[in-house]
Amino acid sequence: MNLQGKRLVIGMTGGIAAYKVCELVRRVQDEGATVRVVMSRAAQEFVTPTTMQALSGQPVATDQWGAEGARVANAMPHIDLTRDADALLIAPCTANFIAKLAHGLADDLLSTLALARRLAPPCPLLVAPAMNVEMWNNPATQRNLATIRGDGVELLGPASGNQACGETGAGRMLEPHELLEDLIAFFQPKLLAERRVLITAGPTFEPIDPVRGISNLSSGKMGFALARAAREAGARVTLVAGPSGLSTPRGVRRIDVVTAREMYDAVMGYANRADVFVGVAAVADWRVVNTSPRKLKKNADAGPPALQFEANPDILAAVAAMPGGPLTVGFAAESENVVANGQAKRAAKRVAMIVANQAQDALASDEAEVHLIDAGGVRALPRAPKLAQARQIVAAIAQLLA
Ligand code: CTP
């Protein structure tokens, strides 16, 4: 669980995107967090406190006075609610509430507790804006956003697209799964802040004719998990992906390629600007030379087609050989002698670290057991989900950079 033990306060203001927060409140609990919901008056026009209480399993605070004031021993819910919180997230956050945050207004429970939250040790404030495109673009809103950014408020979104009002543009609140991914990322240590990380992932596909080709069973899960973990750690991530149905992690730039040579070109076009290169892709070692422009027909008399092959470039070795190139990390999928084969591959390709794993894990599994092999020795990471492994690999990369 990615938010294990985190205590969140989610503040809701008046926007139709409030319905998305119902789902978010469930999802953060699935990840191990506890949630207190605080609602402005306008938020209650969209979703009732009863709904939010049922979803969060906790009383909902709506007012500084009355029941909530009475529940808190010192009658100061505006202080009490955030004192043991790990973060305050305002979602949806209206243009009006952003204006209040920018100016330090405190005219209801939610704005007062945002103003009264501790700065040291901090209770971080995250804001998920939700508004009409014209309200978003209005210079007053943009001024207020610049002010709260300058105050250290973390903005999540907004997205662009069709809006509930029928107009199109920026101002849509992020979807619940996007807010969840950003929230999880927020709590990860920023071990690769501002580093540029280039990653290959997935299989490659080498055509034989217009409808056939040679590929492998790589799912791309480890490479995509690593892209997500690097972005969580604050890196600027470019992911060069072979054919894969996986969705792109938030905040990651993705370049889709098909063949090994396309992957090579994409990587070499960027590698000199990267601080770190991680080759996770299962790159085809060979490509077909005599590809056919037309679909090959079955001709029983002529027998099977005679395919001729030539070697693909070794992308990992090429990057490792670049003078002044990035710190380079490779993967080794082995069916036996995982550590010895991994060590041999590290020496042969002259890379800083090899992540060696069982070939069957490397293909489609959601979990992996890996060995990190670098100049300092070998470290075994016991079986765990690929995202957890990816975070440990990121930590090891940060150590090698340091
Ligand atoms: N790699 C690459 N370009 C290739 C082949 C491999 O960048 N043309 C990278 C992979 O992304 C991975 C590492 O090299 O990081 C794997 O090396 P490789 O020797 O291809 O491993 P295996 O396929 O496991 O090798 P073998 O078949 O010899 O076991």
Just list the catalytic residues.
Answer: 165
State which ligand 1 atom lies nearest to the alpha carbon of 345: 19
283 C-alpha vs ligand 1 centroid, how far in Å? 6
Q: Report pTM.
A: 0.94
- Position 374: which residue type? D
By residue count, the chain amounts to 402
Please report the pLDDT score of residue 291 as a whole number.
Answer: 97
The closest residue, in CA terms, to atom 17 on ligand 1 is 332
Please report the pLDDT score of residue 383 as a whole number.
Answer: 93
SS (H, E, C) the chain: CCCCCCEEEEEECCCCCHHHHHHHHHHHHHCCCEEEEEECCHHHHCCCHHHHHHHHCCCCECCCCHHHHHHCCCCCHHHHHHHCCCEEEEEEECHHHHHHHHHCCCCCHHHHHHHHCCECCECCEEEEECCCHHHHHCHHHHHHHHHHHHCCCEECCCEEEECCCCCEEEEECCCHHHHHHHHHHHHCCCCCCCCEEEEEECECCEEEECCEEECCCCCCHHHHHHHHHHHHCCCEEEEEECCCCCCCCCCCEEEECCCHHHHHHHHHCCHHHCCEEEECCECCCEEECCCCCCCCCCCCCCCCCCCCEEECCCHHHHHHCCCCCCEEEEEEEECCCHHHHHHHHHHHHCCCEEEEEEHHHHHCCCEEEEEEEECCEEEEEEEEEHHHHHHHHHHHHHHHHC
Look up residue 26 and give its two tokens.
């469930």
Q: CA separation (Å) from 195 to 35, 149, 150, 155, 238? A: 33, 22, 22, 21, 11
State which ligand 1 atom lies nearest to the alpha carbon of 281: 11
Contact 280, 253 (CB under 8 A): no
316 C-alpha vs ligand 1 centroid, how far in Å? 8
Please report the pLDDT score of residue 69 as a whole number.
Answer: 72
Look up residue 70 and give its two tokens.
């009475």
Q: What is the pLDDT along the chain (402 residues), one digit of tens a residue?
A: 999 999 999 999 999 999 999 999 999 999 999 999 999 999 999 999 999 999 999 999 999 887 777 787 787 887 888 889 999 999 999 999 999 999 999 999 999 999 999 998 999 999 999 999 999 999 999 999 999 999 999 999 999 989 888 989 999 999 999 999 999 999 999 999 999 999 999 999 999 999 999 999 999 999 999 999 999 999 999 999 999 999 999 999 999 999 999 999 999 999 999 999 999 999 999 999 999 999 999 887 888 899 999 999 999 999 999 999 999 999 999 989 999 999 999 999 999 999 999 887 767 788 989 999 999 999 999 999 999 999 999 999 999 999
198 C-alpha vs ligand 1 centroid, how far in Å? 16
**Residues lining ligand 1, judged by CB closer than 6 Å?**
200, 260, 279-281, 283, 285, 312, 314-316, 330-333, 345
Please report the pLDDT score of residue 76 as a whole number.
Answer: 82
Please report the pLDDT score of residue 73 as a whole number.
Answer: 78
Which residue segments constitute the domains of the chain, with CATH numbers given? Answer: 7-186 (3.40.50.1950), 196-401 (3.40.50.10300)
With CA atoms as reference, report the closest residue to 136 among 15, 243, 5: 15
State which ligand 1 atom lies nearest to the alpha carbon of 354: 15
227 C-alpha vs ligand 1 centroid, how far in Å? 19
